[in-house]
Structure 1
Amino acid sequence: MSKLKTMTLEWTGESVIFIDQRKLPTQEIYVECETYEDVYVAIKDMIVRGAPAIGASAAFGYVLGAQKFNGAFDSAEGLAYMEKVKEKLASSRPTAVNLFWALDRMHRTFESFRNEPDVVKLLEEEALKIAYEDIEVNRAIGKHGAEVLRDGDTVLTHCNAGALATVDYGTALGVIRAAVEQGKKIKVFADETRPYLQGARLTAWELMKDGIDVTLISDNMAGWVMKKGWINAVVVGADRIAANGDVANKIGTYSVAILAQKHGIPFYVAAPLSTIDLNTPTGDEIPIEERSHREITHVQGVQIAPDNIKCYNPAFDVTPSHLITGIITEKGIVRPPYDVELKKLFE
Structure 2
Amino acid sequence: MADLQARTGEDKRATEVPVLRWEEPPEGPVLVLLDQTRLPSEEVELVCTDAPALVEAIRSLAVRGAPALGIAGAYGVALAAARGFDVDEAAQALAGARPTAVNLSVGVRRARDAYHAALARGGDAGQAAAAALAAARQLHREDAEASARMAEHGLALLDELLPGGGHRILTHCNTGALVSGGEGTAFAVALAAHRQGRLRRLWVDETRPLLQGARLTAYEAARSGMAYTLLTDNAAGSLFAAGEVDAVLIGADRIAADGSVANKVGSYPLAVLARYHHVPFIVVAPVTTVDLGTVDGTSIEVEQRPGYEVTEVLAPQAQVSGAGSGIPVAPLGTQAYNPAFDVTPPELVTAIVTEEGAVSPVTAEGLAELCGKAGHARA
| TM-score (normalised: structure 2) | 0.86
Query: AA paired with 1:15?
Result: V
**More divergent stretch after superposition (10-19 vs 134-143):** 10-19
Structure 1 residues 337, 8: CA separation in 2 closer, same or farther (over 3 Å shift)?
A: closer
Q: Deviations over 1:126-156 (max 9, x none)?
A: 1011111111001100000011334211000
1:329 Cα deviation from its structure 2 partner: 0.3
Matched residue, 1:35: 50
Distance 1:191 1:148 in 2: 22
Structure 2: give runs of 5+ residues left out of the alignment.
Answer: 1-14, 160-164, 315-325, 373-379
Matched residue, 1:179: 193
Distance 1:121 1:183 in 2: 44
Aligned length: 334
Matched residue, 1:166: 180
Matched residue, 2:371: 346
Query: Retained in 1: the 8 A contact 2:349–2:362?
Result: no
Indicate which of 235, 240, 249 corresponds to 1:226. Answer: 240
Distance 2:362 2:254 in 1: 18
Q: Deviations over 1:72-120 (max 9, x none)?
A: xxxxxxxxx3211110111211000001111111121112101313221
Matches within 5 A, 1:1-347: 7-13=18-24, 14-69=29-84, 81-114=86-119, 115-117=122-124, 118-150=127-159, 151-300=165-314, 301-347=326-372
Q: Deviations over 1:255-310 (max 9, x none)?
A: 01001111110000000000000110101000000011010011111111110001
Distance 1:346 1:199 in 2: 30
**More divergent stretch after superposition (10-19 vs 275-284):** 10-19
**More divergent stretch after superposition (259-268 vs 178-187):** 178-187
Distance 1:120 1:310 in 2: 45
Distance 2:18 2:75 in 1: 16
Query: Retained in 2: the 8 A contact 1:8–1:168?
Result: no
| TM-score (normalised: structure 1) | 0.93
1:242 Cα deviation from its structure 2 partner: 0.3
Distance 1:5 1:156 in 2: 26
Query: Retained in 1: the 8 A contact 2:258–2:296?
Result: yes
1:69 Cα deviation from its structure 2 partner: 1.1
Query: Retained in 2: the 8 A contact 1:146–1:175?
Result: yes
Distance 1:123 1:310 in 2: 43
Structure 1: give runs of 5+ residues left out of the alignment.
Answer: 71-80
Corresponding residue SS for 2:182: coil
Distance 1:180 1:83 in 2: 44
Query: Retained in 2: the 8 A contact 1:9–1:17?
Result: yes
Matched residue, 1:75: none
Structure 1 residues 337, 326: CA separation in 2 closer, same or farther (over 3 Å shift)?
A: closer
Query: AA paired with 2:19?
Result: T
1:337 Cα deviation from its structure 2 partner: 4.5
Distance 1:67 1:12 in 2: 12
